[in-house]
Structure 1
Amino acid sequence: MSNPTYVQEYKAIVEVLNRYNEGGKQANSSIMKPAFSGQATIFGVDADAKLVGGPIQGLFDTIDNPPFRPSPEAVGVIVSIDIVGTAANARIDTNDISGFCFTDFFNLLKVEGKWTVVSKIYHTHIAP
């Protein structure tokens, strides 16, 4: 069995994830929306250790409203991408998006030739 090379797939996934990073940095969901399937979900754990989340529209609503604001100083890095065929997952660490720091985990699928995020889970770090 030969080892598959996913260089082109990796680059395509980076483009999708960069849309997410840029939308967060600009506090503008219209930039990040194309990265997500219309059926995507988002989940996390709140300060009371309760599960929160649901349809991805919740992320878009949060990004577009206070306390989120454009954060030109924000830094988001893609920590890892793992690809197998038409499935992939990725991790992004982001510092200082409107004063928040996050670790996000994304599940992506290649649907009709395009990579799309189908789910996101996240951890909110205590801001320094």
Structure 2
Amino acid sequence: MKVLKANFKSNSFVKSDSEQVTETLLDYIDGTANGQPERLRKAFHPDFNLYTVVKDSLWIRSGEEYVSNVKVGQKVNRIGKIISIDIEKDAAIAKAEIVIPDVRSFTDYFLLLKYEGSWKIVHKSYSWRDLPKIEIE
């Protein structure tokens, strides 16, 4: 009996879709908070847009405009938390909460698609509420 040995160069650890979606969302959350526009470009599909309602009118902002407002190295006091992720094959939805202390709390809803081997945010709808300013005496 002859035993064949093969040397396979393989990745011993393959990230799950859930881990990959989480990484994509953290590229958005941490990239915005830490002034890392390159992480946002990594997370967003090139045709990505943001949607919200302002004064009862739909407001659409391009992803490129959003990224252009994130300045390299400029940290912003934002605390982000992923609330939920739901994945079906190559599509996912996610919800996150972003808090700017003493200013606003945002609820973000994301649509993500997996193509060419990676997950990209293709759509973000969001809402916010103002937070009361806490004064320390």
The alignment's TM-score, normalised by the length of structure 2, stands at 0.75
Q: Distance in 1 between matches of 2:26 and 2:48?
A: 17
Aligned length: 117
Structure 1 residue 23 corresponds to structure 2 residue 31: yes
Question: In structure 2, what is the equivalent of residue 88 of structure 1?
Answer: 92
Q: Percent identity?
A: 27
Question: In structure 1, what is the equivalent of residue 45 of structure 2?
Answer: 37
The alignment's TM-score, normalised by the length of structure 1, stands at 0.80
* Secondary structure in structure 1 of the residue aligned to 2:16: helix
Q: Is the contact made by 2:87 and 2:93 (CA closer than 8 Å) also made in structure 1?
A: yes
Structure 1 residue 123 corresponds to structure 2 residue 127: yes
Alignment deviations for residues 44-82 of structure 1 (CA, whole Å, 9 cap, x no partner): 112x12111142112213434xxxx623x5321100000
Q: Distance in 1 between matches of 2:107 and 2:26?
A: 15
Larger radius of gyration, structure 1 or 2? 2
Match of 2:20 among 9, 12, 20: 12
Shift of 1:98: 9.1
Amino acid at match of 1:61: S
Amino acid at match of 2:65: G
Q: Is the contact made by 1:70 and 1:98 (CA closer than 8 Å) also made in structure 2?
A: no
Q: Distance in 2 between matches of 1:97 and 1:86?
A: 35
Question: In structure 2, what is the equivalent of residue 112 of structure 1?
Answer: 116
Shift of 1:35: 0.1
Question: In structure 2, what is the equivalent of residue 70 of structure 1?
Answer: 75
Q: Is the contact made by 2:45 and 2:121 (CA closer than 8 Å) also made in structure 1?
A: yes
Match of 2:62 among 28, 33, 55: 55
Alignment deviations for residues 92-118 of structure 1 (CA, whole Å, 9 cap, x no partner): 101117943211111000011110111
Structure 2 CA distance for partners of 1:79 and 1:40, relative to 1, 3 Å: same
Q: Alignment RMSD, CA only?
A: 2.2
